[in-house]
Amino acid sequence: MNLETTWLGLKLKNPLVPSASPLSRDLDMARRLEDAGAAALIMYSLFEEEILAEEEQLSRLMEFQDLGHGEADSYLPLHPDYRSGLDEYLEQLQALKAALDIPVIASLNGSSESGWVEHGRELEQAGADALELNIFFIPDPTQSATEVDERYVAILRRLRAAVHIPITVKLAPFFSSPGHLVLQLEQAGANGVALFNRFYQPDLDLDSLEVRPQLELSAPHEALLRLHWIGKLHDRVRLSLSATGGIHDAEQALKMLLAGASVVHQCSVLLEQGPQALTHTLDGITAWMEDKEYASLSQLIGSSCQQHSIDPEAWDRINYLNTLHSY
Ligand SMILES: Cc1cc2nc3c(=O)[nH]c(=O)nc-3n(C[C@H](O)[C@H](O)[C@H](O)COP(=O)(O)O)c2cc1C
């Protein structure tokens, strides 16, 4: 059975790629994911806030040094042992590259158009095989949908100008026209998009009346939103589509691939069940393909996308009506 797939121009042995999570902070866990069958690994994110806070602190301290400020001098900000969050991230990236045979994708996470994103160059130099750009931005009511889209494209352009390796952009689903944004990102040089980031909705604590951050792992029904958009975009774009969100087993993974995803990402199920969940998914994909007599994954990727349906124009409305009438 040939499970090979091409994602962001990278040849992968199969379509299963663990998405950004704390699992990549641990080298032993990363090796276990590779042994379980992972075809590539996306690292946890390096956040814009970490980069900017350190840059600010460093420039403040250097300014004080220039003024010969005695107390500030004693902080020795440029001491050889000083390690910033970026340094630590680069070290972990290099350690993962040394420990694993599979491609390692570094992840940058932020929302502003400032130069933080140009640190992607250091990630490239440290050996990242590709970059994932996770833009997480909540607009305020004065900002139009067009302005929001332009911000995403501008951030990508800055990163594109800084690095040569492939870039995939991880998006949330909340856009007026997600497909149009994907087309714009493709034109601006994105090699892929990951659909969709999960939106962590903070709760309100009724005792303290404060916002309570809460993280809930995904459930399989969340995969349907991804299925819909991947099915709509396959054959309309040349960039790689990857599915993230709610993919817990072979059933959801196969649907994403049939709709047109080059790879599927898993996170929640790996946090819950460990690397064996990935092996289980891989075995399930192979068993289904054998049963249906597929010889290779490339035969099935995108075979059930919107463009391959009998009436692509009416696809959404018909499916919408059928869903309501099925009650
Ligand atoms: C604990 C945790 C940490 C995560 N950290 C990151 C991160 O650093 N960067 C990122 O882009 N996504 C991060 N994610 C999002 C996941 O990579 C993934 O896209 C999302 O959870 C949906 O996939 P799932 O349903 O398989 O969990 C995190 C998710 C969880 C649960």
pLDDT of residue 63: 65
Mean pLDDT of 263-289: 98
Instruction: Ligand 1 pocket test: pick from 16, 21, 41, 50 the residue with the most ligand atoms within 8 Å of its Cβ.
Output: 21
CB contact at 8 A, 225 and 252 = no
* Cβ–ligand 1 contact at 19 (below 6 Å): yes
CA distance 292 to 238: 27
Whether ligand 1 lies within 6 angstroms of the CB of 168 is answered as: no
User: Is it the case that residue 115 has pLDDT exceeding 90?
Assistant: no
Please compute the mean of the pLDDT values over residues 307-314 and round it to a whole number: 79
153 with 184: CB under 8 angstroms? yes
- What is the C-alpha to C-alpha distance for residues 280 and 286, in angstroms, rounded to an integer? 10
CA distance 114 to 112: 6
Which stretch of DSSP H or E encloses residue 156? helix 145-162
The proportion of the chain whose per-residue pLDDT surpasses 70, expressed as a percent, equals 92
Half-sphere exposure for 43 (CA within 13 Å, toward CB): 31
pLDDT score, position 312: 79
Atom from ligand 1 closest to the CA of residue 246:
25
Say if residue 292's pLDDT is above 70. Answer: yes
Instruction: State pLDDT tens for residues 195-206.
Output: 999 877 788 999
**DSSP H or E run through 251:** helix 250-259
pLDDT surpassing 70 at residue 261? yes
Residue 73 pLDDT > 80, yes or no?
no
User: Which domains, and CATH codes, for the chain?
Assistant: 5-325 (3.20.20.70)
Is residue 58 predicted with pLDDT exceeding 70?
Answer: no
Mean pLDDT of the chain: 91
pLDDT at 26: 98
* Residue 252, H or E segment: helix 250-259
Average pLDDT over residues 229-236: 94
Residue 180 clears pLDDT 60, i.e. is over it:
yes
| The overall pTM is greater than 0.95 | no
In sequence order, the β-bridge partners of residue 240 are 192
pLDDT, tens digit (0-9, with 9 covering 90-100), for 7-52: 999 999 999 999 999 999 999 999 999 999 999 999 999 999 888 8
With a pLDDT cut of 90, the percent of the chain lying above it is: 75
Nearest ligand 1 atom to alpha carbon 44: 8
User: How would DSSP label each residue in 21-69?
Assistant: SGGGG-HHHHHHHHHHT-S-EEEEEEEHHHHHHHHHHHHHHHHHHHTT-
Give the residue from 107, 177, 98 showing the smallest Cα distance to 136: 107
